[in-house]
Structure 1
Amino acid sequence: MAETFRRFAERECGGSSPLYEALALTTADDAELRSIAGAAPAGQPVPNLFFAAVHYLLLAGPSDRLAEFYPTLTATPRPPDEAFPSFRAFCLDRRPAIERLLRTGRVQTNEVGRCAYLYPAFALVAEWSRRPLVIIELGASAGLNLMWEQYRYEYEGDASCGPSDATVVIRNAFRGDRRPRLPERAPAVVGRVGVDLVPIDVRDEDQTSWLRALVWPEHRERAALLASALALAQRTPPRVVRGDALACLPDLLREARRDAAVCVTHTHTLNQMTEGRRAALTAVLSESSRDLPLYRLSAEWLTGIHPLVELTSWAGANVTTRRLAFSDPHGRWIEWLGDRTAARPFE
């Protein structure tokens, strides 16, 4: 547990969240706080869940002294390296509430910024397949990323695409020399559905407050983007099925239109699956690819320095996986790896 918090501080928080970096390093050395964090279910990213539970309680009642360190709760936060005594006191005082949230909550951040790499990837699938798209998202949370083609994208110094009148605008930057094709008009989507063990109801204030608590305190742009996407989703909530992804996926694939290219997508989800379940997911997709044009678009951070975006396509016994991009965990930048006009996978 101690090493988990240290790794979280060094690998994920450095240069991104000074508050969580400081708190993770000090929590790693505190047996009582590690004991509280131990209430998290197996398979969940413990530091993310622990800090989200504390953030959730602070957002609901920001009068505690700890709120003075959170940029989400004050315009002039105190230095992060002074936060631990207040953090520790808050956690010990609110231990039952924190442990209850750890047992019932899930790290299911609906990171809308990740749509910045989904857009060019889905455009590539549409180009390859010459078909409209059906999107099936695993670990969909509130389903906000299912609405990707309704957002506007502004890539720093490069291009813009998506509806010019969109109420949700995603700003991103490219690294490196390569660029994907960014069609001004998004591919046609003729079906979309998500699946999640604990879906977020976008019209439930308590559930959306949990989503807000999952956003790190310094990340004001992420919080604003989440708020605008939630406002859009509340008009016509996306369909998200409650259930286990492996159990639900075969039926969802059978529902998909046969004249469409079916894209099964997941972002930062496999880290919550065992090796056996990951293999079972691949087997389900391989079996289903015999009956329909199937693509798998994933963005996962299982190894390496940065998350990796990959696209897998099937044609009979032929399977091709392409590395499309590296990305920031929250989608704030993309390093495109593929060619601008990639060849179709089996030509």
Structure 2
Amino acid sequence: MTTAETYAEFATREARGVSPTYERLSLAVSRDDELLTLLAALPPTRRQPNLLFGVVRLLGGPVDDPAAFRDFTLANWPAIEAELRTRATQTNEPGRCAVLLPVLAALPQPLALLEVGASAGLCLYPDRYAYRYNDHLFGAGEPVLDCATTAVAPPDRLPEVVWRAGLDLKPLRVTDPADVAWLDALIWPEHTHRRARLRAAASVAASDPPLLVRGDLVDDLPALAARAPAGATLVVFHTSVLYQVPVPRREAFADVVRRLPGHWISNESQDVLPHDVLPEPPDEALYNVLALDGRPLAWTRSHGQAMTWFG
């Protein structure tokens, strides 16, 4: 897929109906030869719409007007390029816990959670958040994570988590204002509810910080998994992470995680991990496939806002 096609698909399948600002902006970039030429000089994993738009927002640039965005980007390209080459999309959306929860709650308790691509670790607290599945509210405190579900009953309990750890090439700290500013810049412009959710989840994490380890998802995963306490079910999970990993490393990771004790939950785009048979997705939007130990269970939206069960 060309860079222009990537931006056009992001506009029509991810941003449409979710962020009008990013839909307009991504379509504009997809048709702008000068911006596409600049992006083409970057490695493919550094050309992503979310990354570019997040960096421009972090540097104080406008994203609500495509023409102003273009002017700012062209005028400030050296600074933007430097950030694009060193940063990664680390959208730490706690709302994704809502689609993980039905699987986590059904596993043998207690759990030892290990998230690959953990960012600041906000998805390591599924037991500390409240949830609203359609009209069913349970759990206590903030944030409250909303998820529209189809063909699945909401969980009737929260998981019991006795250990939580994350692995990331560049872990972020919720106690560092600069790291929180980057997480904030990655939230889409209209999503004020997600900004409030980020602050509430960061407060939860700061009160009981997880073990966050800087490392590689293949080379360093077994050693971190070995630190999980005996008597707890190890659960290695990741969501919207592997698309940033080259295919050979994805395959090596899958081989490593399958050899670990416990369970593996993946929540990735359908073209990232191979699945033999999948039903048709609910509509033309971009969905992730939620899977347990390689067995697909549900279609999920990228921020955890909806889930259609088929497993």
TM-score by length of 1: 0.80
The structural deviation recorded for 1:41 is: 4.0
Asked if the contact 1:40–1:46 (Cα under 8 Å) also holds between the matched residues in 2, the reply is no
Partner residue of 2:290?
A: 309
Measure the CA separation in 1 of the matches of 2:295 and 2:73: 45
Q: Would you say 1:332 and 2:305 are equivalent positions?
A: yes
Structure 2: runs of 5+ lacking an equivalent:
272-280
The structural deviation recorded for 1:205 is: 0.8
Partner residue of 2:237?
A: 265
Q: Secondary structure at the match of 1:262?
A: strand
What do residues 21-47 of structure 1 show as CA deviations (whole Å, max 9, x unaligned)? 111111122222123334644434611
Q: Would you say 1:225 and 2:197 are equivalent positions?
A: yes
> What does 1:77-226 align with in structure 2 at a 5 Å threshold?
83-126=65-108, 131-157=109-135, 159-162=136-139, 164=140, 166-175=141-150, 178-180=151-153, 182-184=155-157, 186-226=158-198
Q: Secondary structure at the match of 1:55?
A: helix
Q: How many residues of Structure 1 are paired with residues of Structure 2 in the alignment?
A: 296
Partner residue of 2:21?
A: 19
* RMSD of aligned Cα (Å): 1.8
The structural deviation recorded for 1:203 is: 1.0
* Greater Rg over alpha carbons, structure: 1
What do residues 198-245 of structure 1 show as CA deviations (whole Å, max 9, x unaligned)? 111111111110111111101121121112111222222222101111
User: One-letter code of the match for 2:178?
Assistant: D
What do residues 240-259 of structure 1 show as CA deviations (whole Å, max 9, x unaligned)? 10111111111012222232
Partner residue of 1:345?
A: none
Measure the CA separation in 2 of the matches of 1:191 and 1:38: 42
Structure 1 pair 228–37 and aligned structure 2 pair: CA distance change class (3 A): farther
1:276 corresponds to which of 232, 248, 256: 248
2:8 corresponds to which of 6, 9, 23: 6
Asked if the contact 1:301–1:307 (Cα under 8 Å) also holds between the matched residues in 2, the reply is yes
The structural deviation recorded for 1:328 is: 1.3
Measure the CA separation in 2 of the matches of 1:100 and 1:261: 42
Structure 1 pair 337–45 and aligned structure 2 pair: CA distance change class (3 A): farther
Measure the CA separation in 1 of the matches of 2:47 and 2:133: 30
Q: Secondary structure at the match of 1:310?
A: strand
Asked if the contact 2:98–2:131 (Cα under 8 Å) also holds between the matched residues in 1, the reply is yes
Q: Secondary structure at the match of 1:26?
A: helix
Structure 1 pair 192–39 and aligned structure 2 pair: CA distance change class (3 A): farther
Structure 1: runs of 5+ lacking an equivalent:
59-63, 70-82, 313-320, 339-347
Q: Secondary structure at the match of 2:171?
A: coil
Q: Secondary structure at the match of 1:149?
A: coil
Equivalent pairs: percent with the same residue? 39
Q: Secondary structure at the match of 2:126?
A: helix
The structural deviation recorded for 1:193 is: 0.4
2:210 corresponds to which of 238, 247, 251: 238
2:227 corresponds to which of 255, 269, 277: 255
Partner residue of 2:275?
A: none
Partner residue of 2:263?
A: 295
Measure the CA separation in 2 of the matches of 1:266 and 1:173: 21
Asked if the contact 1:39–1:103 (Cα under 8 Å) also holds between the matched residues in 2, the reply is no
The structural deviation recorded for 1:302 is: 3.3
